[in-house]
Amino acid sequence: GHDRVLDREHEFRFLAVRPVSLPGALLCSADTAPVLNGGTAASPDQEALAIICGRWTDEEYKARRCPPDEFKRRFLDHGVDRVWRDDVLPCRAYLRHCVLAAQHVGPKAGDSFLDSSFLADRTTSIRQYLQLHPDIMLEQPPPHLATRYGG
């Protein structure tokens, strides 16, 4: 359930947002979209919320989500001194998985992901990065993740 996701993705900041439809696009209605209250559906007169995954700064993360002992256990003990950096590149197989998932939703979602998602440098779009490294879309996940990340 939700607790497993929150633990597995501990370093992310989960935010409730009101989804907005593109003209002509289907937007989940309140009776079909789960909301934050334990995964139950919203009542028909209640606006449905969606969850997005955002980032903290390292300082916010340590202050609000990960006290010093836990930060040491999760990161420092493994030689990682900060979580959010601007000098890393995405895991190739996981990036392929994300691109395929966005494209599976539809062309507008696929294009939105490619043009509105950026590398940690906050400058290079995923589309630009894939133009420089098109072989990423041929990348196969490791065997133990083939079902989960296989596209």
User: Consecutive 10-residue runs of the chain (151 residues): their mean pLDDT?
Assistant: 78 85 58 44 62 88 94 96 90 93 92 95 96 95 82 58
Specify the pTM. 0.66
pLDDT of the residue at 30: 47
What pLDDT was estimated at residue 34?
Answer: 44
pLDDT at 36: 40
pLDDT at 48: 75
3-class secondary-structure state, position 134: helix
State the pLDDT at residue 124. Answer: 97
Q: Give the C-alpha separation, 76 to 60, whole Å.
A: 17
Residue 125: partners with Cβ closer than 8 Å, 6 or more residues away: 114, 115, 116, 117, 118, 119
